Structure 1
């Protein structure tokens, strides 16, 4: 059977199916005629053989047709024939509708086979009523869910491949350096103890670089899981930000930068996983140090708006190009075209930050204009203790 793949509201029967309906009607009519003749003949024999039954039928005729309907009926055979014809019409319609439903089901099954052959962008186009309509809707919904699941699986698989590729790239460079310098030491190819120390120091530095990547990767995969549990406690956001300023004070002095805190109200009491939120602030401040080299100020701001805490970490260094704003939270993405470790880090910091914010039921975005680059976080002030 050829499938009509154009969207339609009804099922178009083929010539063969139309012939089947005509044949069904003819056979049904013939059978009903034979059945009617048999019923009339048997009825006549029964009535003629019983005077009491004859009197009852004639009494029924007189009451129903002559008095109630005010119609003269001179033949009981005509009355019987009238009722038989009505019944025959219903029987004929019932059989034709049943056969038509079977044909509809056949078309639906054919459409299912077409989809099952790999045509997952196709949907059963028929708009039917009753149970078959529900079946078509359910099948189309099931196909949609299946296709979405397959696309999500492909996206995850592609994401895994990209992750492996990026990790391999970031690990290969320091690993090559480590192997190279340790090889020189192993072969005794150094001229002095100072050169030996330089080789070991470089290998050690590259090893630490690899450890940071592995640690960030572990943290990234952990916070990306939706069932990751948060240790929700009540804390003072203002006090937490003040402590962060103290922690980064020396680093800021080295870079000739200042870190200021603006918080309203104080104290700012809210709920969250402080360990993970500290990781968020650390990532954003370190990011400001690295990419805001031309600036001299980092500001941590927090204000209460309704049931949310709106937190901003901004710096007045070099702004981010507009085309990069939607990409900064992608893993391994760096604003600079080069992947140098001078500023690049592991490329996972902002991805980890976004995942932690999402785990807290919030969201984060970045804007860069007017000489300021601002990371804006929206977090619910209160969180269920079970992270549900």
Structure 2
């Protein structure tokens, strides 16, 4: 509750006394005026006398009415109401003054401060709205700081990741430029290394472009009816040769077949390609990568599982953060950008789905849950745009 200061209490008491004095003087003036009217008007006096004589009850014919008493009672009721109304009005003004004072204090930079008191009636709605507004402003400021921090981290990470292969490319090309080779085989070796580093840079740029594209507010999504079984078969076929080279069998299974869902086939294909590529690169010791899709009511659950090395428990919570690498040196060696799983999370979010990870000594599984229907495609695109 709001506590008034001693000065405010004194002012409130003084205003109450002044109001009572003024009302008493007004009442006396009105009583005198009424009496003069009655005394100077014989018809009014006679009418009051007749009414007074007629209002008697009981065996003793007791009078129950006296106009002086009635007038005094009416004046007292009106006076009490006026005093209460003026004091309440003044008290509400003091409440508003305290709220304004608290707002000035917050506006001076004390953003961790909130209006501490609770009031009654509609004034409490003002207090609640002000506190909510400050919370929203603080949250917006924190979000903006986080966005700025993320941008700085993005620039730093991209610069670092691009500088390493670029340095190698320049170094080997300089060897060729300065004729610091002994044979044609050296030239081919240096140019091949530069070529591989250039491809690594190209993959980094493509991942970065894809990530920023799906992260943009209003990222376009081309929703259409897609046969998920065919899409997963195409993904597994595209990685079949690469998997065989590492002793990994890539396969897919869909129940029921065909399994139709509303999705952007290009973006959804990127999701499962990234998950399979992640399993091939980092699933050391794996013998299989299985893509399994099953329908559960209005949702489809797609599991991309491998039997390779488990992911450390402390890393699972960070897997979908951009540029996060479970093992930095291993990722650099395989050309990873740390953006693959972040792209997966962003695309799944665009499809109003979820993705989670389970990993133990037996199997590592990425579980993607998607709704079979995205609503009216035009309406959905309008909302996303």
Same fold (TM over 0.5): yes
* CA distance, structure 2, for counterparts of residue 122 and residue 100 of structure 1: 24
Q: 2:189 aligns with which of 191, 198, 210?
A: 198
* Farther off after superposition, 217-226 or 308-317: 217-226
Name the SS for the 1:271 alignment partner.
Answer: strand
Structure 1 equivalent of residue 372 of structure 2: 381
* CA distance, structure 2, for counterparts of residue 60 and residue 161 of structure 1: 92
CA contact (8 A) 1:279 1:353 kept: yes
CA contact (8 A) 1:334 1:344 kept: no
* CA distance, structure 2, for counterparts of residue 312 and residue 140 of structure 1: 45
* CA distance, structure 2, for counterparts of residue 138 and residue 81 of structure 1: 45
Structure 2 equivalent of residue 332 of structure 1: 323
**Mapping of 1:344-363 within 5 angstroms?**
345-363=336-354
* CA distance, structure 2, for counterparts of residue 62 and residue 155 of structure 1: 87
How far did 1:209 drift?
Answer: 1.7
**Mapping of 1:97-176 within 5 angstroms?**
97-176=88-167
Q: 2:204 aligns with which of 193, 206, 213?
A: 213
Name the SS for the 2:332 alignment partner.
Answer: coil
Shift of the 229–291 alpha-carbon distance from structure 1 to 2, 3 Å rule, reads: same
Structure 2 equivalent of residue 12 of structure 1: 3
* Farther off after superposition, 38-47 or 348-357: 38-47
**Mapping of 1:267-346 within 5 angstroms?**
267-338=258-329, 340-343=331-334, 345-346=336-337
Structure 2 equivalent of residue 261 of structure 1: 252
* CA distance, structure 2, for counterparts of residue 326 and residue 81 of structure 1: 79
CA offsets per residue over residues 275-321 of structure 1, 9 Å max, x none? 11111111111111111131211111111111111111111111111
Structure 1 equivalent of residue 216 of structure 2: 225
Shift of the 313–156 alpha-carbon distance from structure 1 to 2, 3 Å rule, reads: same
Cα RMSD for the two superposed structures:
2.3
* CA distance, structure 2, for counterparts of residue 76 and residue 267 of structure 1: 95
* CA distance, structure 2, for counterparts of residue 154 and residue 130 of structure 1: 37
Name the SS for the 1:346 alignment partner.
Answer: coil
How far did 1:102 drift?
Answer: 0.9
Shift of the 61–92 alpha-carbon distance from structure 1 to 2, 3 Å rule, reads: farther
Name the SS for the 1:282 alignment partner.
Answer: helix
How far did 1:118 drift?
Answer: 2.2
* Farther off after superposition, 101-110 or 193-202: 193-202
Count residues with an aligned counterpart: 377
* CA distance, structure 2, for counterparts of residue 221 and residue 210 of structure 1: 16
Q: Which runs of 5+ in 2 are unaligned?
A: none
CA contact (8 A) 1:124 1:136 kept: yes
* CA distance, structure 1, for counterparts of residue 302 and residue 106 of structure 2: 50
Structure 1 equivalent of residue 241 of structure 2: 250
Shift of the 56–193 alpha-carbon distance from structure 1 to 2, 3 Å rule, reads: farther
Shift of the 381–43 alpha-carbon distance from structure 1 to 2, 3 Å rule, reads: same
Matched, 1:366 2:378: no
Matched, 1:31 2:22: yes
Structure 1 equivalent of residue 46 of structure 2: 55
Q: Which runs of 5+ in 1 are unaligned?
A: 1-9
CA contact (8 A) 1:272 1:383 kept: yes
Matched, 1:22 2:35: no
Shift of the 90–243 alpha-carbon distance from structure 1 to 2, 3 Å rule, reads: closer
Name the SS for the 1:365 alignment partner.
Answer: strand
* CA distance, structure 1, for counterparts of residue 96 and residue 33 of structure 2: 40
* CA distance, structure 2, for counterparts of residue 62 and residue 149 of structure 1: 78
